[in-house]
Amino acid sequence: MNYHPEVLHSYEHRPKTLILKLSITLGVILLFFWSIPSFDGPLISESGLDIVTRMFQGLINPTWDKIFSLKTFHVPYLMYETVMVAFLGTLIGTVVATPLSFLGSRNITNSVIAFLVTVLVVLIRTMPFFVIGLIYIRVVGPGVFAGVLTIGFTSTGMITKLYTESVEDMDKGILEALDSTGATAVQKLRVGIVPQLFANFVSHSLYRFDINVRNAIILGLISAGRLGFELQAAIGNFRYRDAGAYLWGIILVVMIIEFASASLRKRLIYG
């Protein structure tokens, strides 16, 4: 078949991407082999396999007494405690973040203060939260109180960031309208700002609450919470049926809070 000269011309001048694609592929493959840690022998030992089997058995047939008992330190209580720790932590985060977010909004304060708040937020957010947890344990000793403080501290970063975004998106036309009526600062806050931001703020806090429930569980692994701690202890002491019960507790509490937080936020945003 004869092709039109212009067709041959554009074929010759087509963007050539083969080499780029090949080098990206090669790069990813090399990256993969670089990243896999070296290990001797099989990935999973016979005893490891045995533990997996027992954990699955524990998950299918957990210690039912612990799941269906309202006694302190049994599963429902631990779930409740986890939610409470997350609630208090979120509350602390919200209370601290509210003034910070106004300070961090470029449309309210000057850019130097806003920049300082941004730096603070980034610092808090990159701080590994186990480090904060261990520092608080040094201050108040191990236990859920250290967990509350840790969650409060780490939540502040993200909540401030989300709040600041809301404040910066705020419609300032209303404030100008209020200015022209001679409203005082408090009145402006009450009529012009709170109604606009309230739903957004609550929604952001609920979102963080969901994350905090998971964090409250994890903090148990460094003894600043109980659910994670009990799970770790149960596996360590070969009590696999107990471990199954705690795992179900984790799954349930995370699922319930995720669902509740998501549906509440949906209602807040869509009325």
Partner 1 sequence: MIKFRNVGKRYPNGTVALKNVTLDIDQGEFVAIIGLSGAGKSTLIRLVNKMIEPTSGELVVNDTRVDEKLNGFPLRRFRRHIGMVFQSFNLVPRTTVLKNVLGAKIADKGFLASILGYYSKKDQLDALEALHKVGILDKAFIRADQLSGGQMQRVALARTLAQDPSIILADEPVASLDPVTADMIMTDFRRINEEYKITIIANMHHVDVALKFVRRVVGIRDGEIVFDGPSEAVTEDILKRIYNRELTEDDIMFKKVEVV
Partner 2 sequence: MRKLIALLQEIFSPYVSKAARTYKAKDFEVTAPYPITAFIALALVTIFVLAVEASNIDLVQFFGNLNNMWRILSRLLQPNFRFLPRMTGPMIETIQLSVGGTLIGSVLAVPVAIFSASNIVKASAIYGSVRFAMSLIRTIPVLVYAAMLMFIVGMGAMAGLVALSIFTFTIVAKMFYEVIETVDMAPYEAIESTGADKVQAFRVAVLPQILGSYLSIVLYSFEINVRSAAIIGFVGAGGIGLLLSDRISWRQYEDVGMILLVLFAVIILIETLSRYLRRRLA
If we measure between CA atoms, which residue out of 233, 238, 246, 227 comes closest to residue 59? 246
With binding defined as CB under 8 A, does residue 17 bind partner 2?
Answer: no
Nearer to partner 2, 1 or 43 (CB): 43
Dihedral sign, Cα of residue 214, residue 90, residue 153, residue 82: negative
95 is a site residue for partner 2 (CB under 8 A)? no
Measure the CA–CA gap between 207 and 264, rounded to whole angstroms.
10
Stretch that binds partner 2, among 48-56, 108-116, 177-185, 262-270 (CB under 8 A): 48-56
Task: Report the distance separating Cα 238 and Cα 54, nearest Å.
Answer: 9
Question: Contacts with partner 2 in 202-261 (CB under 8 A)?
Answer: 214-215, 217-218, 221-222, 228, 231-232, 235-236, 247, 250-251, 254-255, 258
Axis-axis angle for helices 75-103, 194-218 (nearest 10):
140
As a whole number of angstroms, the distance between CA 48 and CA 68 comes to 30
Q: Rounded to whole angstroms, how far apart are CA atoms 138 and 37?
A: 33
Residues lying near partner 2 in the complex (CB under 8 A): 28, 31-32, 34-37, 39, 43-45, 48, 51-52, 55, 80-81, 84-85, 87-88, 91, 122-123, 126-131, 134-136, 138-141, 143-145, 147-149, 214-215, 217-218, 221-222, 228, 231-232, 235-236, 247, 250-251, 254-255, 258
Residues lying near partner 1 in the complex (CB under 8 A): 1, 3-4, 6-8, 10-11, 14-15
